[in-house]
Amino acid sequence: MRDTIGNNNSDLTEMNRSAVVKILQQREVCSRADIAKQMGLTQASITKIVAALMEMGIVSEVGIMKGNGNRRSIGLKLNTDMHQIIGVKFARHMFGVGVFDISGKIYTQTETEYSIDEDHQSVIAAMKKQIYDMLDQYKNVVAIGLAVPGPYLKDDGHIAVITQMPAWHDINFIEEFKDEFNKPLYIVHDANAGALAEWWFGDHERPIHTLAYFLVGEGVGSGIIENGNLLLGVQGAASEIGHISIDFQGLRCECGNYGCLELYCSAQAMLKKARQHVPECLSESYPKSIEACNVVFEAARGGNQKALEIVKEVAEYIGYGCVTLINAYNPDIIVIGDSVSQGGDLLLPTIMEVVKQRTIPELCDRVQIKISSLKVDPTLYGAAAIATDKVVRMPSAFLAVEK
């Protein structure tokens, strides 16, 4: 769609085509009558829109389906395999590359570890090589999504603060990646990626009005989607829950603030607590906080009292984070994801208790809090979701198949 205030007829057509694609993306098979009902348009209008989408190779008919009152109608589906998406996750210690289609189906994924001291240019070169390899192998890629740690400044192209890896602050991701592959490429920060993954591919009851994805991993962040749109702020740095203070007299964070939530419940914070209280569980060869989390969760499941205490403490802080998310965004669903959430069943009871105790009852009753159950890493999946989100908004531009 054109980036203007006014809308002309072709904008209208594209909006409606996009709405049809989104419905099919969510429902797999659908009749024209179903779509007409859901969109509030006449069946004649839908028939016209669908004809254009079929002509472009975006939609196909798939035989007869039974509708209401035993009426038979023709089923429609998206030609998802014709529209693949590459998702790329760049994180501390590792990057991942995956190939998906616009329905969220995964074709392949790789993970590559690197040392935090490694030269940036060689890490970036390795990422690019893997993306080129995927493009060689998968010929129907229509767009690429890249997820990076936040707060990511969307117009400047760089990360404002990346704890533990300050040198990456100067990398301009737009310059490095935007025009590299001759495919539209979209960049989003990791928590927003997770939110998009949950919005597009998560197994939730719908419709959802306001979704909060609460990333609790090496960093802590959140992504908010209201009415289908990411809350971005002017620079794309909104919803930085990890840098909202829970104690104005707390320890200083690298971002400048004091008592940031990230200092209390990130994987790093868990590693510190583990070193202090259950050093016997950590072998010398645990340099990474993600693994430390799993070790603590395992020890807690085995009944280790000190490990249980660490888990309870971290769960309380995650609970405070949920209370802040509720007061800040009033979501109907909070999905907790990333490495710390691996301790889901151990964490949830305490989180729920804190939320119940500290939130206005009407808001508490309305919000559902759950651990992410996506089969794919939400950040990698979300990198694919940001590209999916963009291309289905402009189906004629991005999804039309050359004949």
Site string for its own copies, 370-389 (x = CB under 8 A): --------------------
Cβ-based neighbours of 313, under 8 Å, separated by 6 or more: 273
Task: Establish if 257 lies at the interface with its own copies (CB under 8 A).
Answer: yes
Instruction: Quote the CA–CA distance of 384 and 378 in Å, as a whole number.
Output: 10
Task: Establish if 137 lies at the interface with its own copies (CB under 8 A).
Answer: no
Task: Establish if 192 lies at the interface with its own copies (CB under 8 A).
Answer: no
Phi (first) and psi of residue 145, to 5 degrees? -120, 140
> Can you tell me which of 320, 337, 350, 384 binds its own copies, judged by CB under 8 A?
320
> Can you tell me which of 178, 332, 371, 400 binds its own copies, judged by CB under 8 A?
332
Element (H, E) at 371: strand 368-371
Question: 235: how many CB neighbours lie within 10 A of its CB?
Answer: 13
Instruction: Quote the CA–CA distance of 304 and 323 in Å, as a whole number.
Output: 29
Task: Establish if 330 lies at the interface with its own copies (CB under 8 A).
Answer: yes
> Can you tell me which of 306, 358, 371, 396 binds its own copies, judged by CB under 8 A?
358
Site string for its own copies, 38-57 (x = CB under 8 A): xxxx---x------------
Pick the closer one to its own copies by CB: 154 or 288. Answer: 154
Element (H, E) at 182: none
Instruction: Quote the CA–CA distance of 44 and 33 in Å, as a whole number.
Output: 10
Of residues 66 through 125, those in contact with its own copies by CB under 8 A are none
What radius of gyration, in Å, describes the C-alpha atoms of the chain? 22
Instruction: Quote the CA–CA distance of 202 and 194 in Å, as a whole number.
Output: 10
Task: Establish if 183 lies at the interface with its own copies (CB under 8 A).
Answer: no
> Can you tell me which of 70, 115, 249, 285 binds its own copies, judged by CB under 8 A?
249
> Can you tell me which of 113, 170, 362, 402 binds its own copies, judged by CB under 8 A?
362
* Residue among 364, 252, 361 nearest 319 (CA): 364
> Can you tell me which of 50, 238, 265, 380 binds its own copies, judged by CB under 8 A?
238
Phi (first) and psi of residue 88, to 5 degrees? -130, 125
> Can you tell me which of 76, 161, 187, 281 binds its own copies, judged by CB under 8 A?
161
Element (H, E) at 147: strand 141-148
3-state secondary structure of 58: coil
Pick the closer one to its own copies by CB: 243 or 273. Answer: 243
- Cis upstream peptide for 151 (omega within 30°): yes
206-209-210 Cα angle (round to 5): 120
Q: Measured from the CB of residue 289, what is the shortest distance to its own copies in angstroms?
A: 22
* Residue among 118, 198, 102 nearest 165 (CA): 118
Instruction: Quote the CA–CA distance of 273 and 187 in Å, as a whole number.
Output: 34
Strand 333-337 with 368-371, pairing: parallel
Stretch touching its own copies by CB under 8 A, among 93-101, 121-129, 181-189, 320-328: 320-328
Task: Establish if 7 lies at the interface with its own copies (CB under 8 A).
Answer: yes
> Can you tell me which of 106, 135, 174, 255 binds its own copies, judged by CB under 8 A?
255
Structure token pair of residue 375: 């089969």
Pick the closer one to its own copies by CB: 216 or 376. Answer: 216
> Can you tell me which of 258, 286, 309, 312 binds its own copies, judged by CB under 8 A?
258
Pick the closer one to its own copies by CB: 110 or 172. Answer: 172
Task: Establish if 244 lies at the interface with its own copies (CB under 8 A).
Answer: yes
Task: Establish if 33 lies at the interface with its own copies (CB under 8 A).
Answer: no
* Residue among 322, 348, 375, 302 nearest 106 (CA): 375
> Can you tell me which of 113, 248, 283, 285 binds its own copies, judged by CB under 8 A?
248
Task: Establish if 247 lies at the interface with its own copies (CB under 8 A).
Answer: yes
Task: Establish if 172 lies at the interface with its own copies (CB under 8 A).
Answer: no
Cβ-based neighbours of 171, under 8 Å, separated by 6 or more: 120, 124, 158, 159
Task: Establish if 287 lies at the interface with its own copies (CB under 8 A).
Answer: no
Task: Establish if 232 lies at the interface with its own copies (CB under 8 A).
Answer: yes
Cβ-based neighbours of 54, under 8 Å, separated by 6 or more: 60, 61
Task: Establish if 359 lies at the interface with its own copies (CB under 8 A).
Answer: yes
Residues that bind its own copies (CB under 8 A): 2, 4-9, 11-12, 15-16, 19, 23, 38-41, 45, 151, 153, 156, 160-161, 209-210, 226, 231-241, 243-249, 255-258, 320, 323-324, 327-332, 357-363, 366
